[in-house]
Amino acid sequence: ASRELSDSKLLLPGKSLYQALLDSVTLCNDSVKLQIVSEKNKVPLLVEIYAIDGNIFRLKINEISPLKSRYEVPDVLIKNLPLRGKLSIAQKETGILVLTCANEDCKLHITANPFQIELESKGETVLSVNTNGLLYFEHLQPPPQNRCDISYIPQCSVCDAENQEDLGLWQEEFGSFLDIKANGPSSIGLDFSLHGCEHVYGIPEHAETLLLKNTSDDDAYRLFNLDVYGHKIHDKMGIYGSVPFLLAHKPNRTSGIFWLNSSETVVEINTKAHVPSRSPPAITKQRVVPQTDVRWMSESGIIDVFLLMGPTPFDIFKQYAQLTGTQALPPLFSLGYHQCRWNYEDEQDVKTVDTGFDEHDIPYDVIWLDIEHTEGKRYFTWDKKKFQHPERMQELLKRKKRKLVVIIDPHIKVDPMYALYSQAKKKGYFVKNRKGQDFEGICWPGSSSYLDFTNPEVREWYADQFAFKSYKGSTDILFVWNDMNEPSVFKGAELTMQRDAVHHGNWEHREVHNLYGFYQQMATAEGLIKRSGGQKRPFVLTRSFFAGSQKYGAVWTGDNIAEWSYLKISIPMLLTISTAGISFCGADVGGFIGDPEPELLVRWYQAGAYQPFFRGHANIESKRREPWLFGDENTRIIREAIRERYTLLPYLYSLFYRAHTTAEPVMRPLWVEFPKEQETFGVEDEYMLGNALLVHPVIEQKATTVNVLLPGSDEVWYDFRRFRRLDYSGTLKIPVTLESIPVFQRGGSVVPLKTTVGRSTEWMTDISYELRVALDSKDFAVGELYLDDGHSFQYLHKKQFLHRKFTFHKNIFSSSCADEIGQYHTKCVVERVLILGVQKQPTSVTVSLQDGKDKEVVFTYDAKTSMLTLEKLLLNVGADWEIHIK
Ligand code: MIG
């Protein structure tokens, strides 16, 4: 149940109460400023408009002189936003101001009465602001007179009726909880119209469809980070993370709205057919275009919104990354398979499970320890009985070239004997309650206080806790999992922290709520980097997240249930998180709560193998479910899925490099790759992994067929496993067995794979490559491979990497350098090249190397699949070479 955002709900679409004072317009170096004023309260607000490089506009609205300063979200935007050249005034007449910006085909029309802004690009109105007149801004006011703190005097007789009413805005009851608002009502809101759009996406995290739904007869989408065990499906209430970024798409343009606010936020969506008012009645019929109105409301802060103008989906991803950063490049091991449960009991258990993978010939990279590994839920400690020799355990894993991840939650047990607690207490590092004492809430350890990660000094201190000398029993193969960081507070209102708790800088919790997890992951990642002397990439998984969390690691979708419907919803959930900038995401394989039937577990492994973060996990009450516990046949199929994941790693790692450097999501909705194909806009049961692979996981029980949409009328598709060319686009009924993972390679692409697998990623460094070349209708294909040491920052600081490009053109398949700056020595070779879609059997195939020598290549050609196989090639992956096919 969402709480009322003060009186904002009373505001209905209509003429705005705000008027712009066009005489107040000033042009500054980097912005245009003007004042607006509400008819009702006469309080003037300052509007600032900035043009940011790359087709982005920023609109800030704040009080000119608030009683106190209002919260502006720090640390989310990357430092030094590039500002673009000036905005200049193109036209100014009564009631209208037109601004243009240098070198861009963009115009801003500002109307004075009512105050509205229209954004025009290349003559087309893309988006308008305050068209429904829903701008509102509760300016800060002095507390009502005779204000009684009813937390002390529950029935206050001295308050008169009017004061009682005012008080209602200054304090709110939520069940048995009382929220006292230090600043009184301070909510804000604004509406936007997206012209020509009926498809909108984004604003995770909800267990909902990919396409955002109309909220006119349903709850609004809520962004408020909460711990919701077994969260319901098709629910718009907030769960663990929030990214206030919405994307809108129509065939010729994608645009985006990034609402930078970390307090509770709700978003209303209303898609309708719209008749532009200026069109004459006679042609009205043809001119009916869809329009989506989006209304944002936040409990506090200021209006600070970025309007991203695209025009392509990839432009949008770049623009958003320009503001919030790109995905951190994960260490290679973290793209392998992770084995988790609540809990692996003790060192012996860890050893047995680890050995189980080898015995069953299943690769895996990381074993995880949940909260029971600690001494009474005191993070950074080990249970003395169950984990007596944590270093020895890690040494064992290290010899197997594997890693350990341990959980570290943000709540700290109230226990003066616990060094972390007593230190933090002494230094004043905990969040305070409204009376100025350390906030205490119940969580796993019992009574707990919560580190105030919004304070940079606390983050630095926290990061230092990961130093090997401070964190006893930790070694360099230990990485971290941050859970419960919404923050989760048992017995708190909605299981979270009171909004009137107080953070660093005297900010109330309500202001920073959605940022809490973001900051913990930031501090943890910094800690891991620091402990390695700045050398190694961290791996940190977080449950709670915000815009920009991609810079610090991975996220997962929390406590799902071992049911088919949760497998199904995981796809749109991950796609939504991915398009909101966080590429490294996954859902608990198998479903966290309950016990999956073997078929569901198998299907979930198959789906997870083709998703960015791949971890099996289970609740403390769930039965054991290591992959070999479900009979030989199921073990074999799960093994196949995990092995397939490992052969795919070169491709996946290259995709992460792209995400890291150019902000392309690893896992993408179909519409991103096929922006003009209307039939893809709502597809959420299949997706693209990079631009080359289309994945349609089987998510129905006892499925014997799946309906796969192969989009694009001039595309060619190939079955990724049987190499068969599928000569039709549209929806295909594909037969499946329990072994099938329907994956299709797009003609025109080259996918790099490993020819076989090892026991973990680190065992695979020298394993040779296979290049899977799929020709398009013009007999062309292109792809790439990124390669580095897999764990350090040398790729960045010393440019130690290889970025290769593979091209098939005019019957020549060539390997060339995609980035001359990168250098990395490897003995690894390309051993095999499969070329799909070769029309006729070649008479000869030769390789020419850099030194000018030519060599005959042994080849086989299969006319039935039109596949050409070249084997035993031994071509260095870092060298230039050409293969000529005649
Ligand atoms: O409320 O640490 O989502 O993955 O195993 C349970 C125990 C607390 C919730 C996490 C889950 C984890 C569990 N945690």
pLDDT tens sequence across 210-229: 999 999 988 999 999 999 99
State if residue 371 touches ligand 1 by the CB under 6 angstroms criterion.
yes
The reported pLDDT for the residue numbered 3 is 47
Neighbours of 396 (CB within 10 A): 17
Which numbered atom of ligand 1 lies nearest the CA of 227? Answer: 1
Q: Are 790 and 824 in contact (CB under 8 A)?
A: no
Is residue 370 lining ligand 1, measured as CB closer than 6 Å? yes
> Which helix (H) or strand (E) is 242 found in, with range?
none
CB 195 within 8 A of CB 128: yes
Please list the ranges in the chain whose pLDDT falls under 70: 1-11, 85, 103-104, 145-166, 168, 275-287
> How far away, in angstroms, is 592 Cα from ligand 1 center?
9
CB half-sphere exposure, 270, CA atoms < 13 A: 12
**What is the 817 CA–ligand 1 centroid distance (Å)?**
45
Q: Architecture of domain 3-324 in CATH?
A: Sandwich (2.60)
* Whole-number Å distance between alpha carbons of 52 and 323: 9
CB 558 near ligand 1, within 6 Å: yes
Candidate of 559, 566, 593, 615 to mutate for ligand 1, largest count of ligand atoms within 8 Å of Cβ: 559
**294, containing H or E segment:** strand 289-298
543 lines ligand 1 (CB under 6 A): yes
Ligand 1 centroid from CA 559, angstroms: 7
776 is catalytic: no
Ligand 1 contact, 656 CB (< 6 A): no
Which ligand 1 atom is at minimum distance from the Cα of 340? 5
Q: Which atom of ligand 1 is nearest to the CA of 558?
A: 3
CA of 469 to the centre of ligand 1 (A): 28
DSSP string, 170-217: HEEEETTEEEE-TT----EEEEEEEET--EEEE----SS-SSPPP-TT
Q: Find out whether 470 and 478 touch, Cβ atoms under 8 Å.
A: no
488 CA → ligand 1 middle, Å:
11
For position 390, what pLDDT does the model report? Answer: 98
**CA-nearest residue, atom 1 of ligand 1:** 229
In short, whether 483's Cβ falls inside 6 Å of ligand 1 is: yes
C-beta of residue 310 within 8 angstroms of C-beta of residue 258: no
Strand 124-129 and strand 507-508: the pairing is: unpaired
Q: Report the C-alpha gap between 669 and 576 in whole angstroms.
A: 8
Asked about 559 being catalytic, the answer comes back as: yes
**Best mutation site among 370, 406, 482, 489 for ligand 1 pocket (most ligand atoms within 8 Å of CB):** 370
* Rounded Cα distance, 769 and 418, in Å: 51
Collapsing DSSP states into helix, strand and coil, what is residue 685? coil
Ligand 1 and 342: CB distance under 6 A: yes
Give the CA distances from residue 276 to residues 197, 281, 284, 452, in Å, rounded to whole numbers and listed in that order. Answer: 14, 10, 8, 50
Closest CA to 662 of 871, 819, 798, 540: 819
Is the whole-model pTM more than 0.85? Answer: yes
**What are the boundaries of each domain within the chain?**
3-324
pLDDT at 144: 80
pLDDT of residue 163: 57
**Cα-to-centroid distance, 696 and ligand 1 (Å):** 29
Active site annotation includes 391: no
Q: How many CB atoms lie within 10 A of CB 604?
A: 27
